[in-house]
Structure 1
Amino acid sequence: MSDNGNAQRLWPAIARRERQRREAAGQLVTLARQAGAGLVGGTLALHVLSGLAPVTFMVGVGVALQHLAAGGDLGAAGRWLGLALGAFVVQQGLAPLLLLLSKEIARRVDRYCLTRFMTFALLDAPLPVMERPDVADRLTYVDEIFEQWTFTPGAATEGGIALAGRYTQLAGAVAVLAWTAGWWPALIAAVVALVVRRGRSEAFFHWGRLNREFTPYQRQTAYVRELATSTRAAKDIRTLGLIGWVEERYAAEAGGLHERLWYWRRRLYGGPFVIYTVLAVAGAAAALVAIARVADGGPPGSAAVGATAMAVQALALCARFGIVFQESDIKMVFGRGAWEALLEIDDIARGATGEPSRTRAVAGPAPAAGPVRAGVRFEGVRFAYRPDRPVIDGLDLELRAGTSTAIVGVNGAGKTTMVKLLAGLYRPDAGTVRVDGTDLRDLDPAAWTRAIAVTFQDFVRYEASLRDNVAMSAIGHRNDSAGILAELARVGLEDLAASLPDGLETPLTRALPGGRELSGGQWQRLALARSLFAVRHGASVLVLDEPTSQLDARGEAEFFDRFLDLTEGLTSVVISHRFSSVRRADRIVVLDGGRVSEAGGHDELVAAGGTYASMFAVQARRFATEAGPAGGKEMQL
């Protein structure tokens, strides 16, 4: 009963593993197609020729020895030695050519995979999918693979093709053994070679699968290491005296990771290595005994020396077949892992959205998003990061074209989430966002990106030139120097380019030669200039999320004095906690619990005595100042 139970468990495991092997082979075929049939076919043929070359060399030398030992025709011996020399020259000549062709295959495949990876990360994947821990782990894994450029999907593809040479060599060695020593030594050598090869490759396969499960631990270790070695957190670590804490944290994270690695290495490679080594030695010994018996039973004389030499060399080649092939196995296990991670990410995105990541390409062209003429409407919109806790819950809101709308509310009211829904970064769980009556999901995403300019509160500080930092919002117009300077002037940075050593070409980071760093307020103004540059080149919707959070009181006042001029003719949305900012908007909307609780003008909402009026009164008391000795005035909110 126990044997039957073991068998019932064993056969499904074997079937599952065979299915995995077929899937792996199918993945390599899929990747190889990206390199082109001609290149792959030619490289495959040359690998087969490369595998035949050492067998030919072995046969040529062995037969030549037979002729020489038997005192036969020296001309025949010379011809066989010439064949061996030719095989040697061919093998040496093929090595650099195969390296060149393999690198070209890897380059083409990696270009395809990297394009797919970046397209997913920058365009196809909904932001909530990108923020999931399981997706983050896979993205980190793929990113590290391409950062190292060693075990990429392209390397896996060229490694799989290189196996053709190895198996051709094995087949040739088995044939030589059968010819020189009989079928029994050949059969023993072939079985041992394939069994040991299968066992070692299986262990390596499981290690590759297991290694991906360590990604969260590797990510944590890399995070602490990056904290300790980069300038991003250097000020805090030094001023807070956290050097010891960072060292202890890194030791703990790295120690936990390495402990897991070594445990599984011993488990996967310890016992199996001993078993397969014993099997290989026993098989080789049995084959040697068989070869010796054939040699003893053969015709007397030294002519059998050549045959015996060929048989022993062929046996040695079979015995070495169980090793891990550096040019193939390592590349296939780790490189194919990156491709599998890409496929898994795609499956996760499909499961989260109910559609494949390239839906737009399948469904055909979507309506273009031109200038907004009527406005944007949120109709019964619901969105939740967790199903049981909606952030936006039944939002009905109209953003009329050509007007400015201010959004206010307490922290967590859903203001920034609403902006991300408007920008198309999130998709509503229920309800619709309509642009001039068309569902935002039906618009061409690239066209809508060009139609909307957004400055987020956590805007990006690009380690690039001043020119590129402004032109990022309309990068096709990066050579519009006059436009860049004009938008810098509109946000109060009219003298910035002139103050930098290389003007617009100055890198905005000290990490690059000739670079300069900006203050927090300058960076925020620059981010505003970036959005205005997009408006200059076609965007008709402007969204500003806490646009003055890093400006001083004077800078904030100057900006909002210009606010109506900056947003004239645009459909604009501004989010701010500072009520001195929002009161200039055409319409003020209060979000509470993910929906609109109040809407109207500043005076109207204050007179209503609701949430807005209470929040305004609290902020007014906070910022009001008593008249000083010099006769100061109360701050006007």
Structure 2
Amino acid sequence: MTHGGAGRLPDLVRERVHRRRAAARQMLELVPYAGAGLVAGTLAVHVVAGVAPVVFLVGTALALPQVVSGALPPALWVAIAAFLLQQVLAPLQLVLSREIARRVDAACIERLTRFTLDEATLAGLERPDVADRLTQVDEAFEQWTWTPGTALEGGLALTARYVQLGGAVVLLGWAAGPWAALAGAVAALVARQGQAEAFHRWGALWESFQPARRRVAYVRELATSTRAAKEIRTLGLVGWLQDRFATETRSWLEPLWTWRRRVYGAPFVGHAIAALLGSAVALLLVVDGGTDGASRLVAVSVAVQAVVLCARFGVMFPESDIKLVYGRAAYTALQELEATIREQAGATADRVEAPAPARDVTFSGVTFSYRPGRPVLDGVDLTLPVGTSTALIGVNGAGKSTLVKVLAGIYAPDGGSVTVDGVDLATFEPRSWQRHFAVTFQDFLRYELDLRDNVAMGAISHRDDDEGVVAALAQVGLGGLLDELPLGLDSPLTRAVEGGRELSGGQWQRIALARALFAVRHGASVLVLDEPTSQLDARGEAEFYDTFLELTRGVTSLVISHRFSTVRNADRIVVLDGGGITEAGTHDELVAAGGVYAQMFDVQARRFADDGAPHVPDLKGATL
């Protein structure tokens, strides 16, 4: 048992040294964001702020004998000047520290944005461990409390504390001898070590509960946002939501409280006792040594105040400790996110710009799984000839939307390949390939921005093309919307902004379609529409598809829909079933083949049958 304890101590020491080095490396990485000049200036101010209390201590001690006799010695004025200097430096320290935090956080937010929007894969962001870290970083910047910038700010602020401690130990050695100085230093460092270790353990525990805190945040967002307000009120979920919030909150707070007692219980008492004993020894040495007279009074006064400064080193430093623990945790989470990118760097370093497809885009034996052993796409073989329209159908969950994401380079296939004019899509830089796309996803976003931006996001570099925005709106049947909006294209599409207006579900879908057509207008050569008319009424759907082929002539288009009136006019229709393409052909060819397509078409067609017989009527121009 003793051997195990003896062996464990060096491991703890090594672990703490490793942790301190890691923290130092992180702080050094953040310094360039703040600027070396600003950091150096702030350090200088912190050093002076740490020296000022020591000068005040010495000045008051030297002035005390003369003040008692009624004189106003120069040492007293020095003490007053040191005190006033502290008051002047305090706000300066705050201003400089906040500027450092602002600069660092601005750089880190840019890194986070670049990671999530430009470098990270969608599959990577959907991993639970990545989502936890991303939430942790996002929370830090949302609350603006414990960020990487505050970590550097807090680390630099420790300079004043340690300068003050160094001055106190020197004065203690001068006034009461080296053993008193050693006792005071040990008391201070033991107490400080206790605080630092407790904060480290507490920070690690806080981070370990991130999944539970993410669940609590989700429930809280449901209760406080307008996103789910209609369903919550209509379904009477208020009481259930309150109970769920309380349950989820207790699920992590109760064990956290238990661990807090362990962290700040016996270990904290042990460090406090050790610090008190060290301080007591230092005071005893102060009392026991020295000479008599005025010099003795000065020495004792200096020594006692120095011991008090050492003893106070064991308290929490609000300007540093919390910021260092949680701010570093946020930066560590950001680094871990970026480590995921570095793992993929070898596969993406040599990628080239993707050309617009000239002949075809081909899937060859493509497989893809969200979970191992459960493929969504399993050996997909499909060719999309350039300049033609292809319709993709299949039951819910067949993998249609997943196929679109693989086509757009959002997901990389687990097996097989996607080629563009015979060149593997994996050799292209994903963003350059996606610039050729105009996509309307099934779960399209409703941006709380003005009408112009909502349409122009299809080709945002052409945001000033008001004529094109108006034309796209007219093409999707929203030409009259401009007349209804007092601010025209500048009208915000949300009631949360003054003068804004909310749109219906069908109008929002038309906006998404206009966004795609605006992208086609400005050079997108591949158009993908995933359930593009699911929220339109029968007339709106018919009107859109009457003009769809004309609007997209010469564009390579892929349309996903459950409505066969939507897909029947496509140049070719393919059926995705069981993870692969099982049928391909024109509408008439597939109906004649009597396969899955014919069965699904027959189900929709029956409602138009006069006698209920399973015959297939001519539905050209009708809406199913």
Give the TM-score, by structure 1 length.
0.93
CA shift for structure 1 position 348: 4.0
Deviations 1:425-446 (A, max 9, x none): 1011122222233332332333
CA shift for structure 1 position 471: 1.3
CA shift for structure 1 position 81: 3.0
Give the structure 2 partner of residue 98 of structure 1: 93
1:568 is aligned to 2:567 = no
Q: Judge conservation of contact 2:187–2:274 (CA < 8 Å) in 1.
A: yes
CA shift for structure 1 position 255: 2.2
Give the structure 1 partner of residue 21 of structure 2: 22
1:445 is aligned to 2:445 = no
Give the structure 2 partner of residue 506 of structure 1: 491
Give the structure 1 partner of residue 106 of structure 2: 111
Q: Alignment partner for residue 174 of structure 2, among 172, 179, 189?
A: 179
Aligned amino acid, residue 422 of structure 1: L
Q: Distance in 2 between matches of 1:371 and 1:247?
A: 52
1:195 is aligned to 2:190 = yes
Q: Judge conservation of contact 2:187–2:276 (CA < 8 Å) in 1.
A: no
Aligned amino acid, residue 193 of structure 2: R
Alignment map for 1:381-460 (pairs within 5 Å): 381-460=366-445
Q: Judge conservation of contact 2:146–2:326 (CA < 8 Å) in 1.
A: yes
Give the structure 2 partner of residue 587 of structure 1: 572
Q: Alignment partner for residue 585 of structure 2, among 576, 600, 605?
A: 600
Aligned amino acid, residue 302 of structure 1: A
Deviations 1:487-541 (A, max 9, x none): 0000000011221122211111112211111111111111000111111122111
Q: Alignment partner for residue 206 of structure 1, among 188, 191, 201?
A: 201
CA shift for structure 1 position 370: 4.0
Give the structure 2 partner of residue 355 of structure 1: 344
Deviations 1:285-309 (A, max 9, x none): 22111111124xx13x234222211
Q: Alignment partner for residue 605 of structure 2, among 620, 629, 634?
A: 620
Which structure 2 segments of 5+ residues have no match?
Answer: none
Q: Distance in 1 between matches of 2:267 and 2:448?
A: 50
Q: Distance in 1 between matches of 2:554 and 2:480?
A: 27
- Paired residue secondary structure (1:467): helix
Between 1:502-511 and 1:81-90, the stretch displaced more is 81-90
CA shift for structure 1 position 159: 0.7
Q: Distance in 2 between matches of 1:42 and 1:241?
A: 59
- Paired residue secondary structure (1:34): helix
Q: Alignment partner for residue 310 of structure 1, among 302, 305, 317?
A: 302
1:481 is aligned to 2:481 = no
Q: Distance in 2 between matches of 1:439 and 1:101?
A: 52
Alignment map for 1:513-552 (pairs within 5 Å): 513-552=498-537
Report the CA distance shift for 1:442/1:9 in structure 2 as closer, same or farther (over 3 A).
Answer: same
Give the structure 1 partner of residue 10 of structure 2: 11
Q: Judge conservation of contact 1:129–1:349 (CA < 8 Å) in 2.
A: no
Deviations 1:347-378 (A, max 9, x none): 3455xxx424x975xx36x4333433222122
Q: Distance in 1 between matches of 2:220 and 2:88?
A: 45
Q: Distance in 1 between matches of 2:212 and 2:526?
A: 43
- Paired residue secondary structure (1:385): strand
Give the structure 2 partner of residue 240 of structure 1: 235
Q: Distance in 2 between matches of 1:444 and 1:227?
A: 37
Q: Distance in 2 between matches of 1:449 and 1:93?
A: 56
CA shift for structure 1 position 616: 1.6
Give the structure 2 partner of residue 36 of structure 1: 35
Aligned amino acid, residue 527 of structure 2: L
Which structure 1 segments of 5+ residues have no match?
Answer: none
Q: Alignment partner for residue 278 of structure 1, among 269, 273, 281?
A: 273
Give the structure 1 partner of residue 52 of structure 2: 53
Q: Distance in 2 between matches of 1:486 and 1:374?
A: 29
Q: Distance in 2 between matches of 1:68 and 1:325?
A: 34
Aligned amino acid, residue 20 of structure 2: R
Q: Judge conservation of contact 1:625–1:633 (CA < 8 Å) in 2.
A: no
Q: Judge conservation of contact 1:379–1:432 (CA < 8 Å) in 2.
A: yes
Deviations 1:27-71 (A, max 9, x none): 111112322222212222221121111111211222233566799
Q: Judge conservation of contact 2:538–2:623 (CA < 8 Å) in 1.
A: no
Q: Distance in 2 between matches of 1:289 and 1:9?
A: 35
Between 1:194-203 and 1:111-120, the stretch displaced more is 111-120
Between 1:60-69 and 1:589-598, the stretch displaced more is 60-69
Q: Distance in 2 between matches of 1:99 and 1:230?
A: 35
1:472 is aligned to 2:457 = yes
Give the RMSD, CA atoms, in angstroms.
2.2
CA shift for structure 1 position 321: 0.4
Q: Alignment partner for residue 152 of structure 1, among 147, 155, 161?
A: 147
Q: Judge conservation of contact 2:442–2:532 (CA < 8 Å) in 1.
A: yes
Q: Judge conservation of contact 1:450–1:534 (CA < 8 Å) in 2.
A: no
Report the CA distance shift for 1:290/1:510 in structure 2 as closer, same or farther (over 3 A).
Answer: same
Q: Distance in 2 between matches of 1:476 and 1:85?
A: 62
Q: Judge conservation of contact 1:58–1:310 (CA < 8 Å) in 2.
A: yes
Aligned amino acid, residue 145 of structure 1: A
Q: Alignment partner for residue 244 of structure 2, among 234, 242, 249?
A: 249
Q: Judge conservation of contact 2:66–2:73 (CA < 8 Å) in 1.
A: no
CA shift for structure 1 position 636: 7.4
Deviations 1:451-501 (A, max 9, x none): 101100000011111111111222222222111111000000001122112
Q: Distance in 2 between matches of 1:192 and 1:492?
A: 78
CA shift for structure 1 position 389: 1.0
Q: Judge conservation of contact 2:473–2:479 (CA < 8 Å) in 1.
A: yes
Q: Distance in 2 between matches of 1:573 and 1:585?
A: 9
Q: Judge conservation of contact 2:205–2:256 (CA < 8 Å) in 1.
A: no
Report the CA distance shift for 1:38/1:624 in structure 2 as closer, same or farther (over 3 A).
Answer: farther
Q: Distance in 1 between matches of 2:609 and 2:242?
A: 47
CA shift for structure 1 position 236: 1.4
Q: Distance in 2 between matches of 1:540 and 1:482?
A: 20
Between 1:459-468 and 1:256-265, the stretch displaced more is 256-265
Deviations 1:177-228 (A, max 9, x none): 0001111111101001001100111011110111011112212222222222
Alignment map for 1:486-497 (pairs within 5 Å): 486-497=471-482
Q: Distance in 2 between matches of 1:92 and 1:108?
A: 25
Q: Distance in 2 between matches of 1:87 and 1:10?
A: 43
% identical aligned pairs:
59
Aligned amino acid, residue 85 of structure 1: I
